[in-house]
A and B are shown apart, each in its own frame.
Chain A
Amino acid sequence: MYWGIWLLLIVMTVVTAFIANVDLGRFNTVVALVIATFKASVVVLFFMHVKYTSEKLTKVVIISAIFFLVILLSLSMADYGTRLMH
């Protein structure tokens, strides 16, 4: 299974590097980040065994860390995103 995951990750890397040179306008950013998130999730779930762990707490830790990171990013961006208004 690990080999399959590995192959998937390598393919995704090639794909994302290739797409970067194709002009999709704003979607370049979206695609790059979606692929990165997909790759990261695969690593967390399979290589880091989160998919198979019986331990709920691990998932709680991961989710809350991401939650607070999102708070940091979104609430500070909320300032920058609305400065030009008013």
Chain B
Amino acid sequence: MARGTAGLITMFDNFPLWPAQSSTYAGNVDLLYIFLVLLSLFTCAAIFITIFVFSTKYRRRHGRLPEPIEGSTFLEVTWSIIPLGVFLVIFVWGAIIYFQERTPPQGATEVYVVGKQWMWKLQHQEGVREINELHIPVGHDIKLIMTSQDVIHSFYIPAFRIKQDVLPGRYTTAWFRATKAGTYHLFCSQYCGTQHSGMIGQIVVMEPAEYQAWLTTGGSFGSLAANGAALFAQLGCPTCHQTESQGRGPSLGGVYGRPVQLEDGRTITADENYIRESVVSPSAKVVSGFKPIMPVFQGLVNEEQLNELVAYVKSLNQPPAGTAGSTLMASPVTQSQEPKE
């Protein structure tokens, strides 16, 4: 109890009423929020004052009889149309912000996130791994590519106003650009079991120079894509996925982000989810002209290795830097388009 009392007294030491505003996105959200708060205050005031005035002015008194009033279609239409108009404005405003949030910019730095009961595992493109902590440079676009090993989690950074559920068996993405250096909360906001409230961490936003310094001391495991390339070879993938020509499987050079014609006639974009799915369950969406002969890698590769493989396939979009130690390196983008014709 003594501890409790002390806690009650010291609780005022740290008592903010507004969350930190530390991403490009936060200002927009706050603006809409403030607009809605003002709108609500105005509406509440209007309604409450009207009720107060009506109920006091027309209080029951001797000698004054209430007047029967049926209603007024004009008023009904007015107070239906005006709110509807205001609602439409809110809808469009909210939709614009959401659209930005769901559309990661080109060239964002990618961070792979794996949620599991009850921790966050994060891996930078450069290969640095972190647990429950993410270091990022200020002023850079960061794209999170996230999946879960067990139940649904949700990656939530209040200071950035972003949140995205993290699902098993699928990738979801989110992006942000931090605007202020500092340390911010990372929460899991989708209930995930016993230690749900313990599945928290920190986002450390650093000045770019500091960040570079941190990266070098952070213990590099080699870049994600490089690890992926090694794994790609180790699993024997190059036997079918050849570089120069189409083997038994489609060539993967430049495939990322491009439309792919499927065997069943559909055309889909080869995004992270598609690449991931093609590894864990190849038969789901077979590329047109190929047989579903690829073995299943579910269970053979873990989520982190999957992330490495996906990062590798994506890296094939860029022309090889130098001779880039691997014979598996992608054919240039222009070549890979040929089979499509």
Residues on A lying within 8 angstroms of B by beta carbon are 84, 86
B11-70 residues with Cβ-Cβ distance < 8 A to A are none
Dominant SS among interface residues on chain A: loop
- Within the complex, the shortest CB–CB distance from A22 to chain B, in Å, comes to 20
B70-115 residues with Cβ-Cβ distance < 8 A to A are 102-103
In the complex, chain B residues whose CB is within 8 Å of the CB of A84:
268-269
Q: How far is the CA of A48 from the CA of B285 in the complex (A)?
A: 44
Q: How far is the CA of A84 from the CA of B262 in the complex (A)?
A: 13
Q: How far is the CA of A86 from the CA of B102 in the complex (A)?
A: 9
Chain B 257-273 interface mask (CB, 8 Å, partner A; 1/0): 00000000000110000
- Within the complex, the shortest CB–CB distance from B276 to chain A, in Å, comes to 14
Q: How far is the CA of A84 from the CA of B266 in the complex (A)?
A: 10
In the complex, chain B residues whose CB is within 8 Å of the CB of A86:
102-103
Instruction: Please list 4 pairs of residues, one from A and one from B, whose beta carbons are closer than 8 Å in the complex, sorted by A's number.
Output: A84-B268, A84-B269, A86-B102, A86-B103
Q: How far is the CA of A84 from the CA of B285 in the complex (A)?
A: 12
Q: How far is the CA of A86 from the CA of B172 in the complex (A)?
A: 13
Q: How far is the CA of A84 from the CA of B268 in the complex (A)?
A: 6
Q: How far is the CA of A61 from the CA of B275 in the complex (A)?
A: 47
Residue of B nearest to A26 (CB): B265
Q: How far is the CA of A84 from the CA of B103 in the complex (A)?
A: 14
Q: How far is the CA of A68 from the CA of B103 in the complex (A)?
A: 33
In the complex, chain A residues whose CB is within 8 Å of the CB of B268:
84
Residue of A nearest to B267 (CB): A84
- Within the complex, the shortest CB–CB distance from B96 to chain A, in Å, comes to 15
Residue of A nearest to B271 (CB): A84
Q: How far is the CA of A86 from the CA of B103 in the complex (A)?
A: 8
Q: How far is the CA of A84 from the CA of B269 in the complex (A)?
A: 7
B262-311 residues with Cβ-Cβ distance < 8 A to A are 268-269
Residue of A nearest to B285 (CB): A84
In the complex, chain A residues whose CB is within 8 Å of the CB of B269:
84
- Within the complex, the shortest CB–CB distance from A3 to chain B, in Å, comes to 44
